[in-house]
Chains A and B, each alone.
Chain A
Amino acid sequence: MYTISASQLQDALLHVCDVIIDSEGMLTELDTIIGDGDHGIGMKTGFSAMRTLLQKQRFEDAYTLMKESGMMLIKVMGGTSGVIFGTLFIGGLSALKDKDPVTVQDFAEYIDLSTKAIEQRGKVHQGDKTMYDALCAARDEMLRASGEGADVSAFFRAGAEGAERGAESTRPMMSRIGRSKNFRDKTVGHPDSGAVSTSLIFRALADSFS
């Protein structure tokens, strides 16, 4: 299978919502060590609202599905995570416009554009110890896999493995951005909670398409 329908993507997003909601405690614990402890709460709030939206309404195209999902995160979450994870969903929308079904190449471009939008909006760079480190690793793997002709399953698996590697890479880093940078040396030795959330999203997508 080399294409993704809106219906398949919506079911996958519902699984993403469940995974994030179930991970609230773990994410909060991570963020409490090197931040203000609100990450898990914010993610649960946002993805609970998204799940409600996706349970109420079926979307006929991937563009509208991702747009409405991202806007819901921005509306309800607030905080840094609301804007950044909202941008993850809406930052690359131009790659999905009038595409039905979406090909692996379309989705790779979508993730690439979203990554660039987050870089621009958050003024973030690799090595800052943020979700961007996981996202860049996922993006790189998805671009590579799509270029090598991977099918949908292999494509999302590559993204998940990249994101998990990227999230783990934040463990030895010292925070350089956001409130956690004030915790200085204390941030070393723990992965960034936003990076872990990103890896959970990509792993849940991969599991849905396996």
Chain B
Amino acid sequence: MLTNLCNDDTVSSDFTAAMASIYPDRVGTVPGSFNNRALLRLPVESDRVNLIVSAGGFGAPFPDGMVACQGLADVSVVGGKCAAPSAYDIYEAARYINSQKGYLLIYNNFMGDCLNNDLAKELMEIDGLRSSLIPYNDDCLSVDPSAPRSERTGLLGLHYGARIAWQMAHEGADLETLSAVLETVRARTSSMNVSFDPDTKRVQLGRGISGEPPRIEYDEEFSLQFAAAKAYDYLLADLSPREDETLYVLVNRPFSVNTEDLYIFSHAMQTYAQSRVPIRRMSPGHYTRHFYYYAFGVCMLSCPKDLTKYLQDVCCTTAFIF
């Protein structure tokens, strides 16, 4: 369970209010909102497709990373403690922005997130607002490897998807184009958790964010370098990059992992990749905070050539440099 010093019942709305107060020129909340759980990127731009990211129970992905900068999302809807954001909060933010160009609803493929985004889409349709649903299913070890990709849950891939889609939306791409591009990007993204069990001295791949057992365990070597190599090999095999694609990797450090290990692990993977398929950019950072054990989240994007231009600039946020 997450532990906060603040009041669990109001932690989400207290957080959004605090963010809006600290960065009044960058983010805001929906005036008169029922729950006050949506952070809007300012200024609101209603004349293009808007991206609404909603994911996880409060901590994933970090809303400050998503909207308090230029280039990832227009709205980040925050869930309550351990609960997916509500359909009404998603709908309410869309109604306030009132974009006639439509909305991309981006979220991780968990049941609560899917149900709430489905319902939000229905509520938006009643008001004549168009939207496309983009459930991220990049966690390659969240289900049995033989299961179809559509059954995977999401982990970190939506960061890449949101980043590419937001820039294209800013250039004026329409909802249909953006949906198609995001489906491509999503299909070329793969993620996993890499954990370290101090009792058994085993490196584990695929342990779930709620403590689900790992899919793979190794007892040969208990080191960051070994784990980085195994994670790289598995993700690379899952994606099988084509010759014209470029690799990007982000490594997430939840609260439980120290910064030193984050950078040593990321560097080890980058070094290991040099003689194989090199990584164009490695982006270690503090993207989400789930995990109650010692683990990294690793996300690999095998980016099609025509989309790499959207990843050229560095994206600096209050949470990470991406």
A binding-site residues for B, Cβ under 8 Å: 35-38, 41-42, 45, 71, 74-84, 121-122, 177-179, 182-184
Contact = CB atoms under 8 A, between A and B. Distances in A.
A78 B116 contact: yes
Interface of B: 1, 8-9, 34-35, 57, 79-89, 110-112, 115-116, 118-119, 142, 208, 210, 212-213
A129 B34 CA distance: 33
A82 B110 CA distance: 14
Nearest to A83: B115
Nearest to B118: A121
B165 to A, nearest CB: 24
Contact of A182 (B81, B88, B212): B212
A178 B115 CA distance: 11
A42 B80 CA distance: 8
A75 B88 contact: yes
Given A79-B84, A82-B112, A178-B111, 14 more contacts: A38-B81, A74-B86, A75-B35, A75-B88, A77-B83, A77-B86, A78-B85, A79-B57, A80-B84, A81-B83, A82-B84, A121-B118, A182-B142, A182-B208
A83 B112 CA distance: 8
A140 B310 CA distance: 56
A36 B212 CA distance: 10
A78 B89 contact: yes
B82 A74 contact: no
B86 A76 contact: yes
Contact of B112 (A74, A80, A121, A183): A80
A78 B79 contact: yes
A183 B212 contact: yes
Contacts, number: 92
A81 B84 CA distance: 10
B81 A41 contact: yes
15 contacts: A36-B82, A36-B210, A42-B83, A74-B119, A75-B34, A76-B80, A77-B86, A78-B84, A79-B80, A80-B84, A80-B111, A81-B112, A83-B112, A121-B115, A184-B213
A38 B212 contact: no
A82 B210 contact: no
A182 B87 CA distance: 25
Contacts of B111: 80, 122, 177-179
Contact of B115 (A41, A71, A84, A179): A84
A79 B112 contact: yes
A84 B88 CA distance: 14
Contacts of B88: 71, 74-75
B79 A79 contact: yes
Contact of B87 (A42, A83, A177): A83
Contacts of B1: 37
A183 B211 CA distance: 9
A91 B213 CA distance: 36
B112 A78 contact: yes
Contacts of B9: 45
A77 B83 CA distance: 7
B80 A122 contact: no
Which 5 A-B residue pairs are closest in the complex by CB-CB distance?
A79-B83, A38-B82, A78-B86, A182-B212, A83-B115
Nearest to B8: A41
A84 B86 CA distance: 12
Contacts of A45: 9, 80, 83
Contacts of A121: 115, 118-119
A19 to B, nearest CB: 20
Contacts of B208: 179, 182
A83 B117 CA distance: 10
Given A45-B80, A79-B57, A179 B210 contact: yes
A136 to B, nearest CB: 19
A80 B118 CA distance: 12
A80 B115 contact: yes
Contacts of B116: 78-79, 82-83
A182 B210 CA distance: 9
Contacts of A79: 57, 79-80, 82-84, 112, 116
Contacts of A81: 83, 112
B239 to A, nearest CB: 23
B83 A38 contact: yes
Nearest to B78: A78
Contacts of B79: 78-79
Nearest to A80: B112
Nearest to B79: A78
**Residue among B79, B85, B88 with the most chain A CB within 10 A?**
B88
